[in-house]
Amino acid sequence: MTFEEFAAARLPAVLKFAAVLTGDRGLAEDVVQEVLIRANARWETIAGLDRPEAYVHKMIVNEYLSWRRRSWRLVLSGAGTDLTGRSVPDPAAGYAERDAIFAELAKLPLRQRAVLVLRYYEGLSDQEIAEVLGCRPGTVRGYASRALAALRVELTGPLLVAPTTAKEER
């Protein structure tokens, strides 16, 4: 399989994966571009692997985790990150909840977010995630546990929000 053949067949899926991983169209584009430029340069080696797409995904995760630009992001003071550019919250409860999860996902440390994406979007096992991230399965479970706890705590009401945080948010 040539690089062009790979791109024609798999690029849309790769781009979706990057979009889910980053949660940001611009960042996803930047990350995939950087990765594919490097992958293209040594495609013969990558094409010889059992699963070239998995390797490219691993490159994307590593690129995302080491992305140095855009280190600060503004989060709206209300529901959180507005991924669609709307300035008014969507009145539909389902969309509002979805936006709330987006916002909470955006606040997670990168590795925790990556673990969630690899587990729930890619469907990888903890062992497979550990191989992608270069850590132990136990560490993966720790990331996942903290990420899930953070997502749930955020919506379970003010009783679970640390007093200092509540104060800071005013």
Partner 1 sequence: MHAGPQMPVRTEDDVRAALMALEDQAPSAENVLRTVRAAGARRGHVLARALRPPRSPHWPWLVITAATAAALAGLTIALLPSGAPSGSPGTRPVRARLVPAMGPPPGRAEPGLPSAAALGKAMLTASSAATSEILYTTQTGGVVRGVITSIDQEWMWPANPVPGQQARWREALSERLSRSKPLLPAEDIGFTYTVPRGNPDSERANEAYGHLTDVCYPVMRGCGLGSMGETPAGAWSQHTGKFINPSAGTGDLSPAGLAKAVAKGQWRVIGRTRMAGQPAIELTETRTGIYRPLPTTLWVNARTHLPIRMNNGTGTMWAQDDWHYLKPTAANMAQLRVPIPPGYREVR
Ranges within 42-81 binding partner 1 (CB under 8 A): 62-63, 65-68, 70-77, 81
In the shown chain, the binding pattern of residues 89 to 128 toward partner 1, with x for contact by CB under 8 A and - for none, equals --------xx--xx--xxxxxxxxx--xx--xx-------
C-alpha distances in Å from residue 77, one per residue of 9, 103, 106, 147 = 41, 11, 14, 21
- Min dist CB 51 to partner 1, Å, is 19
- Min dist CB 120 to partner 1, Å, is 4
**Number of residues this chain uses to bind partner 1 (CB under 8 A):** 77
Amino acid at 51: R
Query: Could you tell me the two tokens for 152?
Result: 């749930």
User: Measuring CA to CA, which residue among 64, 40, 62, 63 is closest to residue 52?
Assistant: 40
Any residues with CB less than 8 A from the CB of 22 and at least 6 apart, and which? Answer: 28, 31, 64
- Min dist CB 137 to partner 1, Å, is 15
Residue 156 in contact with partner 1, rule: CB under 8 A: yes
- Exactly one of 50, 91, 93, 168 binds partner 1 (CB under 8 A); that residue is 168
Instruction: Answer yes or no: are the C-beta atoms of 121 and 17 closer than 8 Å.
Output: yes
- Min dist CB 49 to partner 1, Å, is 15
